[in-house]
Structure 1
Amino acid sequence: MLIEEELLLSYGAAVEDLNTSDMIFQEGDTPREFYQIRKGRIKLSHYNEDGKELILAVLHDGFSVCELLLFIDKKYPVNAVAIEPTSIITLKKETFMKLLDENPPISRDINSFLSQRLYFKYIMLQNNTSLHPDTRIKGALEYHKSFSNDRSKFSFEVPFTRRELAAITGLRTETVVRCIKKLEKENYLKIIQRKIYV
């Protein structure tokens, strides 16, 4: 968890329960709140000019949602939508900034978290330019595993479906299914009850 729930609540944060498909914010909205996921999953996506959805990230328990935009004067470039029943903690931007000012170690933790997220995002973007589907898939899986405390082999349960993985990598679902089977044979990942582990 990025910031302890008790600390957020002590600054007046609220807990909000969302249903599947509920929108937290949409592309073009002005960032006004800090969001942290208590339980559930949220996708960040963008629709291109052809109306095709590109999933940029799937966030889960403990992750914050587009917190970096609270530090700059820009609109959201993505939509944030719950993809299952989800509970989030929300805190007004001004109060969030006060929390950071009054808790320097938390501010440093967020800087470190943002730096790590950007680093692995660059790696994933590099992999997404590859013509090899398995390279794209590995890049996306490594990016999401990078936020897990346990980095041992097969310790991370991939928190999205093959279809979502296709939208993240810009591949067809059928291609992802074939590559996942190939990567399992190569012992890069494991499939247990249809769930992918890396």
Structure 2
Amino acid sequence: MVIIDQKYYLLFESQGIVRHYAPHEAIFMEEDEARYTYLIEEGRVRVFMNSKDGKETTLEILKAGRIFGDASFCEHSLRSVTIEAVVETRLVVVDTRRLVGVLHEHEELMVLMFQHLTESNQRMTHVLKRLIHYDATQKVADFILTSSEEDGTLPFTQQEMSECLALNRVTVSRVITKLKQQGLIQTSYGSIQIRNKQGLKALL
């Protein structure tokens, strides 16, 4: 997963504004004008869509070091999703026109941004595949595999998992218990750790 290194945080801050968001506070909504790019310095945000009947479908939860709002790179575009803070969150908000100028002066950051945006598109395609084609066990196993840190620790709660996977909390808990009994993961209060990555992959 491509993460923006903290050494670039001050550069973003010099071009934008630091803003703090409370849990469940909206950052932007579907159909809003897309003018700004956002860097998460602290916290997590939830990306979701609303159906006409008001049902929410969570697409992804983004953590520190991730960038979102890339629709603003296209002129006169509108937001296609709603994004809100999950926990207390600190963002740098940058007018995308200013950011483009900065990227011309910092080639390494430009390459990193392109990699980040490409990966984001690939991840969204994978998320749709998971929602459409996987059963409950496969959804949970895939989420653990694709969302864990390098040390195998999953930095998300079961509630956040259930929202991303379109499953209820009871189902997620039941699958996690089964995976633990099979020796594929281990759990402690508030965290999940991968024990057998190949075993999880074999479920997919």
CA distance in 1, matches of 2:37, 2:141: 30
Match of residue 174, structure 2, among 145, 159, 178: 178
Q: Tell me the equivalent position of 1:102.
A: 105
Task: Give 5+ residue unaligned stretches, structure 1.
Answer: none
TM-score normalised to structure 1 length: 0.85
The reply to whether residue 157 of structure 1 matches residue 154 of structure 2 is: yes
Match of residue 132, structure 1, among 131, 135, 139: 135
Report if the CA contact (8 A) 1:34-1:65 is conserved: yes
Partner letter of residue 172 of structure 2? V
CA distance in 2, matches of 1:197, 1:48: 34
Report if the CA contact (8 A) 1:124-1:139 is conserved: no
Partner letter of residue 168 of structure 1? C
Report if the CA contact (8 A) 2:50-2:57 is conserved: yes
Report if the CA contact (8 A) 2:17-2:94 is conserved: yes
CA distance in 1, matches of 2:134, 2:9: 42
Partner letter of residue 180 of structure 2? E
**Deviation larger for 21-30 or 187-196:** 187-196
CA RMSD of aligned residues (A): 1.9
CA distance in 1, matches of 2:73, 2:182: 43
Partner letter of residue 83 of structure 1? V
What per-residue deviation string (whole Å, max 9, x for no partner) do you get for residues 10-57 of structure 1? 3x3221111122211111111111111111111111122332221111
The reply to whether residue 122 of structure 1 matches residue 122 of structure 2 is: no
Partner letter of residue 99 of structure 1? V
Report if the CA contact (8 A) 1:18-1:85 is conserved: yes
| Change over 3 Å in CA distance of 1:77–1:110 after alignment to 2 | same
Give the SS at the match of 1:141: helix
Partner letter of residue 51 of structure 2? N
Work out the percentage of aligned pairs sharing the same amino acid.
20
Count of residue correspondences: 189
User: Which of structure 1's runs of 4+ aligned residues deviate more than 3 A?
Assistant: none
